[in-house]
């Protein structure tokens, strides 16, 4: 039969490192039923009949957090064959508190004294034989990081499992407390299993309701427990729970005094480092410096190179692995030639005030882009090419007859100079061919290129080909392209967690976050959110308190992530033409807006019934600094990346199909079907336009009540980068990008040049529901459809309120009149200020029995 081993221990005791060492790649991760607490199981690498369960890191078996409840119910209900208690040897007193509770559960226990190499390095010593004698169970020295003693520990655990004898702990409490426990133990002899009699007796002495409900003792036993408890509390002048806690620590202190010897050689290396990195004044600047370096590497250097390769190479046209510099020069020359051609054609046929070419000029530019047919039998392509050549011939005749010239600005190191383009210059520029990357070195086409060729070769239907390439591959690829960047980021964060630094960061930030209702552990997800919202949401699993975890999930994606940067860049460019004093403040403004939104949300939510109460007390063991093993760092990284690929990937896949259908299907020429997206204004006949038109009036108070701007927000739900690409489709500018001046002008024109409307649009898209990938991660962490919808609804409603105030007050200050929308903005501001400034309500007096049941559930 299989042997079940449970690993228990405090957070940062090295339990996860030991679990990874014991199970290798044969582990599987899920969630415990009904809660978001992670469940890890695996089989022993040397014996597949040994199943190892990694219990959540906890400090005690008190039922105050989901992790403690999960561990306790598993140990009492499932009764593993043996419990391996992983103890941080550098902090025996704190770790043995959990050990003292495990020994009362009536199961075989083996204590693994981890990090004993650090104990010896510090000049300290632990008498293992004395510890084993007092605890009444086998005690083994190990180093999970280095693998020392692990085999001996497993031998002891397997022997204890086969023997089946529970631990016989010799640690005892004060005589008065022991007498009280024995009296209660006798009263429940008929109710409690013999192995758990002392455990239940202590819990009844403490008056713990969960234990009482689980045991269901008779009335006489409850009366005995109440009388004994009252007598002991009166005698010792303290509550029973505090009395038992103090007795545990007293017993542990006696054990440590006898079995552990500490050197007197001053501070350890960890203590010396902590005097600097946790300093009240230096801690935060050092942290900013460390994380700046992390994000510089993951976002600006190594991570960006990898992500560019994934986006442009794997999921794009392809990647040039040699001769890139020469190719970039050729591309720059081609882009300059295209700009000269556009300048000359536009000068001949004119443009509007925003610089957009006239319809006649655009007709010529489109004709220049029509290639010669590859297949001579392709009649449709041949006709299109012949028509384009006729257009160009007519243009040539007119240009020669008019001898037109065009002004053209050239940027160089010496500044900007103006040239005059002649017809000969136009001809030379038009003759410049788009460079083929394969001509400059080894070039490997991307997945879409191969897929397009294969689908064409098998005669795939145009609609299915568009669905696969423009829907699934483009949608999923746009998000998966960020995986390399995420891997680099996760690797460095896993290293910082493994070496013990992240525990210090949470400690440093706790004093700041506690002011608006969260603990320091909420800061790490918010920090990660500046890179990507998906890993940020996933990182909330380290927050033990369910209420704090949910609030963090609901607010963390308000921080602008990397995918939102193109939106900010687009808004920056659009405002550059509307604001005369410069718009350097746009990017920092929206970053600070995200931080402010989290602070405001934290204060307001904390004053609601579902989030009421003080932030959970912040208790975290600060482990010794050490170099984490490569295996631990890699496995932690893989777990996060795998979760994103498997869970969020399915959501992106389905959402991409839906968005493709909305954009590419519609009513055109009186019939429903696949739209010809090459035709001018085709997207205006799409289902997306119809759906957006229906809900557009809701956004009119925000300054963008037309279907075009609403459609960009909808497509942004798949991936925020889609906002820019959708603007390109709607404005017929294709993939010009967020840094193209023509895109800025066309985007500003969508809002009639209104700066308040443009900023309201940006605020709404940055603060509202995140991309589908992040929504999928939220669903997984919430483990509840109701809470997921509530989170999405809150973020969207909050974003709407902020955007409403930006547009209405911005329009008012710009000289607009006081309207009904302005009144609504004033009402929203008043409501938010009331919620922010009012005293904390006392919900305990207002709860009805029914509401109390819902809250407890």
For the segment 318-372, what is each residue's pLDDT rounded down to a tens digit?
877 777 788 888 888 988 888 888 888 888 887 655 555 577 778 888 888 888 8
Which residues are within 8 A (CB) of 91 and not within 5 positions of it... i.e. 6 or more apart? 621
Question: pLDDT tens digits for 836-847?
Answer: 888 877 766 544
Lowest pLDDT segment from 745-749, 759-763, 816-820: 745-749
Which residues pair with residue 409 across a beta bridge? 418
Angle at the Cα of 534 from the Cα atoms of 285 and 27, rounded to 5 degrees: 105
Question: pLDDT tens digits for 80-115?
Answer: 999 999 999 988 888 999 999 999 998 999 999 998
Q: Residue 33: pLDDT band by 50, 70, 90 thresholds?
A: low
How far apart CA 689 and CA 692 sit, in angstroms, is: 5
Question: What is the average per-residue pLDDT within 174-186?
Answer: 91
For residue 810, pLDDT over 60 is answered with yes
CB atoms within 10 A of CB 219: 7
Q: Residue 794: pLDDT band by 50, 70, 90 thresholds?
A: very high
Question: What is the average per-residue pLDDT within 620-634?
Answer: 77
- In terms of Cβ atoms closer than 10 Å to its own Cβ (0-12, 13-18, 19+), residue 164 is exposed
CB atoms within 10 A of CB 121: 14
Q: What's the pLDDT at 410?
A: 78
Q: Which domains does the chain carry?
A: 3-163 (3.40.50.300), 175-261 (1.10.287.1770), 322-441 (no CATH), 484-851 (no CATH)
DSSP 694-733: HHHHHHGGGT--SHHHHHHHHHTTT-TTHHHHHHHHHTT-
Lowest pLDDT segment from 188-202, 485-499, 559-573, 782-796: 559-573
Q: What's the pLDDT at 579?
A: 47
454 compared with 850, residue with greater pLDDT: 454
Q: What's the pLDDT at 853?
A: 38
How far apart CA 724 and CA 731 sit, in angstroms, is: 11
Terminal Cα-to-Cα distance of the chain (whole angstroms) = 37
How far apart CA 22 and CA 18 sit, in angstroms, is: 6
Question: What is the average per-residue pLDDT within 480-505?
Answer: 79
If residue 444 lies in a helix (H) or strand (E), which one and from where to where? strand 443-445
For residue 136, pLDDT over 70 is answered with yes
- In terms of Cβ atoms closer than 10 Å to its own Cβ (0-12, 13-18, 19+), residue 767 is buried
Contact (Cβ atoms closer than 8 angstroms) between residue 554 and residue 565: no
Distance (Å) of CA 360 to CA 104, 189, 420: 87, 96, 22
Residue burial 56-85, b: 16+ Cβ < 10 Å; e: rest:
bbbbbbbeebbbbbbbbebbbeebbbbbbb
Question: What is the average per-residue pLDDT within 219-246?
Answer: 89
DSSP 75: I
Structure tokens belonging to residue 459: 């005669």
Average pLDDT, the chain: 81
Which residues pair with residue 443 across a beta bridge? 320
Task: Report pTM.
Answer: 0.61
Q: What's the pLDDT at 854?
A: 38
Contact (Cβ atoms closer than 8 angstroms) between residue 552 and residue 74: no
Question: pLDDT tens digits for 387-400?
Answer: 888 888 888 888 88
Q: What's the pLDDT at 576?
A: 64
Between strands 3-9 and 82-88, the pairing is parallel
Q: What's the pLDDT at 851?
A: 40
Question: What is the average per-residue pLDDT within 815-844?
Answer: 85
Where helices occur in 403-500 by DSSP H, the ranges are 423-430, 447-457, 462-466, 474-480, 483-499
Which residues are within 8 A (CB) of 325 and not within 5 positions of it... i.e. 6 or more apart? none
Distance of CA 448 to the CA centre of its chain: 28
Lowest pLDDT segment from 346-360, 408-422, 570-584, 617-631: 570-584
Q: What's the pLDDT at 87?
A: 94
Percent of the chain at pLDDT above 70? 85
How far apart CA 523 and CA 555 sit, in angstroms, is: 11
Question: pLDDT tens digits for 657-688?
Answer: 887 788 788 887 777 777 776 666 667 788 88
Which residues pair with residue 3 across a beta bridge? 50
Q: What's the pLDDT at 852?
A: 39
Closest CA to 663 of 470, 845, 515, 795: 470
Which residues pair with residue 39 across a beta bridge? 30
Q: What's the pLDDT at 713?
A: 83
For residue 411, pLDDT over 70 is answered with yes
Q: What's the pLDDT at 829?
A: 93
Question: What is the average per-residue pLDDT within 154-178?
Answer: 90
Percent of the chain at pLDDT above 90? 17
For residue 584, pLDDT over 70 is answered with no
Q: Residue 557: pLDDT band by 50, 70, 90 thresholds?
A: confident
Q: What's the pLDDT at 651?
A: 64
Which residues are within 8 A (CB) of 271 and not within 5 positions of it... i.e. 6 or more apart? none
Question: pLDDT tens digits for 111-124?
Answer: 999 988 888 887 88
Q: What's the pLDDT at 774?
A: 83
How far apart CA 445 and CA 437 sit, in angstroms, is: 10
Residue in the structure block whose two tokens are 């007293």: 250
How far apart CA 65 and CA 617 sit, in angstroms, is: 11
Q: What's the pLDDT at 849?
A: 44
If residue 199 lies in a helix (H) or strand (E), which one and from where to where? helix 197-206
Q: What's the pLDDT at 531?
A: 66
Q: Residue 803: pLDDT band by 50, 70, 90 thresholds?
A: very high
Distance (Å) of CA 194 to CA 107, 198, 558, 816: 11, 8, 53, 80
Q: What's the pLDDT at 696?
A: 86
63 compared with 169, residue with greater pLDDT: 169
φ/ψ of residue 115, rounded to 5: 60, 30
For residue 522, pLDDT over 80 is answered with no
Residue count (the chain): 857
DSSP 74: I
Distance of CA 480 to the CA centre of its chain: 14
Q: What's the pLDDT at 562?
A: 65
3-state SS string over 372-399?
CCCCCCCHHHHHHHHHHHHHHHHHHHHH
DSSP 761-794: HHHHHHHSS--HHHHHHHHHHH--HHHHHHHHHH
Query: Residue 357 in 3-state DSSP?
Result: strand
Question: What is the average per-residue pLDDT within 824-836?
Answer: 92
Contact (Cβ atoms closer than 8 angstroms) between residue 526 and residue 556: yes
How far apart CA 575 and CA 45 sit, in angstroms, is: 61
Q: Residue 156: pLDDT band by 50, 70, 90 thresholds?
A: very high
Question: What is the average per-residue pLDDT within 418-441?
Answer: 86
Query: Residue 747 in 3-state DSSP?
Result: helix
Q: Where are the beta strands (DSSP E) in 191-312?
A: 260-261
Q: What's the pLDDT at 356?
A: 52
Lowest pLDDT segment from 21-35, 624-638, 697-711: 21-35
How far apart CA 804 and CA 810 sit, in angstroms, is: 10
Q: Residue 299: pLDDT band by 50, 70, 90 thresholds?
A: low
Lowest pLDDT segment from 250-259, 428-437, 711-720: 711-720
Question: pLDDT tens digits for 700-750?
Answer: 898 887 888 888 888 777 767 677 767 766 765 555 444 556 666 777 777
How far apart CA 80 and CA 427 sit, in angstroms, is: 82
């Amino acid at each position: 039969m299989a042997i079940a081993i449970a690993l228990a221990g405090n957070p940062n005791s090295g339990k996860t490192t030991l679990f990874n060492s014991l199970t290798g790649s044969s582990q599987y991760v899920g969630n415990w039923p009904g809660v978001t607490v992670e469940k890890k199981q695996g089989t022993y690498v040397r014996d597949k009949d040994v199943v190892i369960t990694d219990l959540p890191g906890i400090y005690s078996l008190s039922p105050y957090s989901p992790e403690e409840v999960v561990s306790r119910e598993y140990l009492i209900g499932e009764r593993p064959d043996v419990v391996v208690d992983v103890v941080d040897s550098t902090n025996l007193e704190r770790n043995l508190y959990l050990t003292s509770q495990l020994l009362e559960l009536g199961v075989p226990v083996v204590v693994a004294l981890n990090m004993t190499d650090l104990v010896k390095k510090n000049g300290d010593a632990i008498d293992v034989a004395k510890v084993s004698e007092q605890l009444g169970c086998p005690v083994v020295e190990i180093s999970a990081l280095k693998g020392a003693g692990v085999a001996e520990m497993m031998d002891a655990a397997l022997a204890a499992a086969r023997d089946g004898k529970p631990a016989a702990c010799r640690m005892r409490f004060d005589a008065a407390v022991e007498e009280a426990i024995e009296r209660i133990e006798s009263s429940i002899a008929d109710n409690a299993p013999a192995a758990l009699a002392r455990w239940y007796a202590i819990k009844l002495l403490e008056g713990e309701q969960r234990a009482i409900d689980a045991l269901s003792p008779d009335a006489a036993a409850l009366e005995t427990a109440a009388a004994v408890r009252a007598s002991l509390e009166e005698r010792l002048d303290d509550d029973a729970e505090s009395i038992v806690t103090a007795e545990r620590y007293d017993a542990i202190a006696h054990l440590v005094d006898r079995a552990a010897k500490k050197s007197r050689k001053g501070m350890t290396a960890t203590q010396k480092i902590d005097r600097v990195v946790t300093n009240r004044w230096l801690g935060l600047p050092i942290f900013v410096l460390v994380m700046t370096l992390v994000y510089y590497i993951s976002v600006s250097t190594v991570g960006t190179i990898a992500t560019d390769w994934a986006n442009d190479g794997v999921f794009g046209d392809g990647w040039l692995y040699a001769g890139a510099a020469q190719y970039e020069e050729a591309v720059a020359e081609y882009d300059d030639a295209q700009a000269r051609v556009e300048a000359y054609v536009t000068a001949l046929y004119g443009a509007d005030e925003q610089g957009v070419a006239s319809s006649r000029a655009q007709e010529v530019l489109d004709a220049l882009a029509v290639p010669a047919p590859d297949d001579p039998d392709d009649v449709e392509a041949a006709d299109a090419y012949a028509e384009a050549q006729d257009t160009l011939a007519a243009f040539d005749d007119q240009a020669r007859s008019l001898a037109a010239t065009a002004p053209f600005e050239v940027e160089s190191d010496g500044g900007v100079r103006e040239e005059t383009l002649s017809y000969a210059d136009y001809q030379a520029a038009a003759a410049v061919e788009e460079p083929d990357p394969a001509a400059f070195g080894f070039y490997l086409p991307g997945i879409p290129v191969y897929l397009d060729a294969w689908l064409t070769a098998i005669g795939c239907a145009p609609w299915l080909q568009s669905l696969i390439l423009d829907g699934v591959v483009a949608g999923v690829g746009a998000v998966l392209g960020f995986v390399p960047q995420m891997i680099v980021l996760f690797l460095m964060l896993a290293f910082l967690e493994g070496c013990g630094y992240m525990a210090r960061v949470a400690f440093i930030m706790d004093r700041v976050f506690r002011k608006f209702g969260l603990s320091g552990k909420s800061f790490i997800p918010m920090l990660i959110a500046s890179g990507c919202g998906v890993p940020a949401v996933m990182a909330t699993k380290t927050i033990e308190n369910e209420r704090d975890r949910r609030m963090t999930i609901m607010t963390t994606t308000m921080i602008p992530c990397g995918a939102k940067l193109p939106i900010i860049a687009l808004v920056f460019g659009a405002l550059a033409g509307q604001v005369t004093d410069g718009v350097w403040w746009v990017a920092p403004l929206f970053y600070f807006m995200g931080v402010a939104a989290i602070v405001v949300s934290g204060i307001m939510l904390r004053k609601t019934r579902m989030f009421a109460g003080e932030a959970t007390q912040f208790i975290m063991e600060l482990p010794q600094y050490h170099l984490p093993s490569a295996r631990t760092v890699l496995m932690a990284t893989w777990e996060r990346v795998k979760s994103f690929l498997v869970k969020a990937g399915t959501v992106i896949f389905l959402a991409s199909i839906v968005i493709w259908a909305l954009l590419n299907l519609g009513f055109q020429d009186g019939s429903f079907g696949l739209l010809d997206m090459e035709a001018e204004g085709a997207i205006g006949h799409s289902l997306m336009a119809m759906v957006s038109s229906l809900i557009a009036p809701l956004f009119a108070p925000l300054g963008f009540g037309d279907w075009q701007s609403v459609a960009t927000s909808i497509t942004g739900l798949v991936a925020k980068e889609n906002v820019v690409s959708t603007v390109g489709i709607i404005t017929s500018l294709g993939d010009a990008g967020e840094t193209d001046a023509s895109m800025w002008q066309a985007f500003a024109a969508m809002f009639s040049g209104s700066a308040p409307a443009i900023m309201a649009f940006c605020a709404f898209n940055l603060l509202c529901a995140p991309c589908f990938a992040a929504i999928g991660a939220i669903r997984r962490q919430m483990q509840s459809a109701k809470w997921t919808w509530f989170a999405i609804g809150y973020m969207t409603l909050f974003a709407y309120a902020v955007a409403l105030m930006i547009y209405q007050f911005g329009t008012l200050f710009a000289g607009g009149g006081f309207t009904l929308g302005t009144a609504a903005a004033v009402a929203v501001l008043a409501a938010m200020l009331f919620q922010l400034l009012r005293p904390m309500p006392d919900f305990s007096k207002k709860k009805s029995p029914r509401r109390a049941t819902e809250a407890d559930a």
